[in-house]
Chain A
């Protein structure tokens, strides 16, 4: 397994371009199954999960072509089977996103139960219950969700808990259903809105995305279209924290500042000077040590759980005491133990981490346990004294497009050690 070797101590400076959001690109790739003609998706990030999704669609017989500008043209009309096998699904929980589109467009789907990040329970029963409420016959057997339906019927779906992939799956399924579907307690994340925008461009009638109540008026057919995926707000936030933790000054390009209000506010609390434009953000720490900030994660538009680990890293070297409260996922403080090995002063109490900033972390071999934990360990390595080796970085490769190249472009001393 590849590792990252980071020599800490350099303030980041320069410009970095942000990729498209994986969490928007994955459902949009799944949504192409709903179209009755080819469609083209651009601003797709270069990530393993995207490759896995392309493999998933490809093994169904869907024709995919990647052009020189990394746009993906998808022709779903060549589909020959409606199955998502365990071998592919086990590596990526988002594979379940093909369930709704397959069932709605083709009347059948066999989808293996997903694997993916081991960060708390992410139940798929909400997807299944919602589709059953729309008239689908679903059995779970031998590790597979086996679903059938003639044509789904609109229904009022009340989500017990807020789930992004559940909302997306049911929203996609409802686009071709007979009648109106209302999803109550829907996820409000920008990636859900981006999917709704894409579906509407394909001819769907989705309103209310971005609120807790999404209305979908089913249509007879959806057409292929050209769609550009929205920028990755978590990648944006991660680079901003990288600059803040190192006392640096950077400009982020091709991003969407309006998706990061709370994160930008927290960075200003930490002492950063921030300016924004339509698609750019600048952050300047003027060489100062950051101040500790308190963070409480919650579904969008509150502080994102996917930025929690990075702010934990920021607090480890900040002035003062910062309290991090994780309200979204269980078991999401796996990075804390590794940071403690780098000298961080962190006390865990249930879902709360109390971080007392120290002057400097000390480099150590550390091991990544999930995607955002990996990113936070890289950030810690950027300010640690000595050479930090981050092991098991396949996690980070799942969510960050060329992270070491981009950080190196900002002056960081970082390189990949191949297995």
Chain B
């Protein structure tokens, strides 16, 4: 059972806490999509994640796809270096919309 969460920490700001990887990806994807649907512009803060893998990156891309399809703007901030490295290796680094921190 996933103990990771995604919730609003501020207006227009979602924060993920806990593991953001294969074991939690499915739950966090659904939770995130539910929370995002009313926001026109949204930033997701990843400073609270305790570990990640490429499944977490896949969730980020899925959120981006959904948001883009709805004509809304999504940003990420405080992406851990290890997750950025996975994005680099996957040739996806340039696709990630990064928020100014």
Contacts and interface: CB of A to CB of B under 8 A. Distances in A.
Interface in A64-90: 64-70, 73
A65 B22 CA distance: 7
A65 B83 CA distance: 12
B55 A65 contact: yes
Contact of B54 (A46, A48, A66, A69): A66
A328 B55 CA distance: 42
B91 A51 contact: yes
A73 B89 CA distance: 15
A64 B88 contact: no
A51 B82 CA distance: 17
Nearest to B53: A67
Contacts of B82: 68-69
B12 interface: no
Q: Chain A interface mostly helix, strand, loop or mixed?
A: mixed
Interface in A109-141: none
A46 B54 CA distance: 14
Interface residues of B, number: 16
Contact of A70 (B51, B55, B85): B85
Among B51, B52, B83, B86, chain A packs the most CB atoms within 10 A around the CB of B86
Nearest to B81: A68
Contact of B86 (A48, A50, A68, A73): A68
Interface of B: 21-22, 51-55, 80, 82-83, 85-86, 88-91
Interface of A: 46, 48, 50-51, 54, 64-70, 73
30 contacts: A46-B85, A46-B88, A46-B89, A48-B91, A50-B89, A51-B89, A51-B90, A51-B91, A54-B90, A64-B54, A65-B53, A65-B54, A65-B55, A66-B53, A66-B54, A66-B89, A67-B53, A67-B54, A68-B51, A68-B52, A68-B53, A68-B80, A68-B82, A68-B83, A68-B86, A69-B82, A70-B85, A70-B86, A70-B89, A73-B22
